[in-house]
Amino acid sequence: MTVVEALTPSTNQRGAAGGRAAPSERWGRAALLTPSVVLLAGAFVVPLVIMLWYAFTDPQPGFDNLTWYLGDAVQRRVLMRTFTTAIKVTAVCLLIGYPYAYAMVAAGPKLRAVLTLLVLVPFWTSLMVRTFAWVILLQDNGLIQRLLAGVGLGHPQLIRTNVGVIIGMSQILLPFVVMPLYAVMSNIDRRLILASSSLGARPLTSFVRIWLPLSLPGVGAGSLMVFISSLGFYVTPSLLGSPRDSLVSQQIFTQVNGLLLWGRGGAMGVVLLAITFAILAVLMVSIRRSTRRRAQVGTS
């Protein structure tokens, strides 16, 4: 080997120095990802394409299904009810999940393990089992109604109402808020709170100006997961709600399974998906702008 060859790096060395993997390594990574990509394509992409196809071709090509859906006042009310229900469920999960996640962070190891178990054990239980449990609890003359009557609140109807649907969905989706919040809060340096207290800040001021802004990524992640999941719930609204308070998922089931109108069901799914993507796009833009603004403030 000459001196020039010894001093000249090989192709593999240049690729490693530049941070790029060798072709064989890239092919190996692609081979490992292939099964998951195929599974995701079969489980999500193919049904989505079929839904789009039916929306614009059944019973005849065109935009008749979308025109029917957007022009029907009843369907518009159902769509609005679906989004308002999702917003209410997200708000309830945040109101309960935020202090619960903070308690998990502030608690000791043993109590933290118990609190984590209380969140995850219902999450590991079947959705049908949890929903039927709420049917028993919320039914007329059930346990919750008797407790409310015992404290002088009367006998409010909870089953077959939108309130019952929100209660059941909030309990089922609560872990999707608690766990992201706990992951973010556990990485917050609590010495910042002590430092603000030593400088004369009150606990509420320290929370609003330090803890809350640092925990916002967990709030955003948990809220998005709950909101998007709420839009497609079917079992819980069907068992706890009533036909007059039906959501989009129930209407899609009626159109496809009851009336065999696949095109109308596909159109409803397309509209719901488009509105969801639009909301996500607006949220992503606002998050990026706030991140840039925060970075500019930090560097100035």
For residue 242, the model assigns a pLDDT of 87
Average pLDDT, rounded, for the chain: 84
- Residue pair 199/210 in contact (Cβ under 8 Å)? The answer is no
Range scoring the smallest mean pLDDT among 6-10, 118-122, 133-137, 179-183: 6-10
Question: What's the pLDDT at 173?
Answer: 92
pLDDT category at 7 given cuts 50, 70, 90 is: very low
Q: How confident is the model at residue 60 (pLDDT cuts 50, 70, 90)?
A: confident
- Asked if residue 99 has pLDDT above 80, the reply is yes
pTM of the full predicted structure? Answer: 0.82
Query: What integer is the mean pLDDT of 61-83?
Result: 90
| pLDDT range class, residue 9, cuts 50, 70, 90 | very low
> What's the rounded mean pLDDT across residues 238-260?
88
Q: Which pLDDT value is given to residue 210? A: 86
Q: Do residues 193 and 211 touch, judged by C-beta distance below 8 A? A: yes
More confident residue, 38 or 1: 38
pLDDT (tens digit per residue) in 174-222: 999 999 999 999 988 888 888 888 888 888 888 888 888 888 888 988 9
Q: How far apart are the first and last CA of the chain?
A: 55
Domains of the chain are 58-299 (1.10.3720.10)
Residue 164 φ/ψ, nearest 5 degrees: -65, -40
3-class SS letters over the chain = CCHHHHHCCCHHHHHHHCCCCCHHHHHHHHHHHHHHHHHHHHHHHHHHHHHHHHHHHCCCCCCHHHHHHHHCHHHHHHHHHHHHHHHHHHHHHHHHHHHHHHHHHHCCHHHHHHHHHHHHHHHHCCHHHHHHHHHHHHCCCCHHHHHHHHCCCCCCCCCCCHHHHHHHHHHHHCHHHHHHHHHHHCCCCCHHHHHHHHCCCCHHHHHHHHHHHHHHHHHHHHHHHHHHHHHCCCHHHHHHCCHHHCCHHHHHHHHHHHCCCHHHHHHHHHHHHHHHHHHHHHHHHHHHHHHHHHHHHHHC
CA distance 191 to 236: 43
pLDDT 10s digits, 126-168: 888 888 999 998 888 888 888 888 888 877 888 888 999 999 9
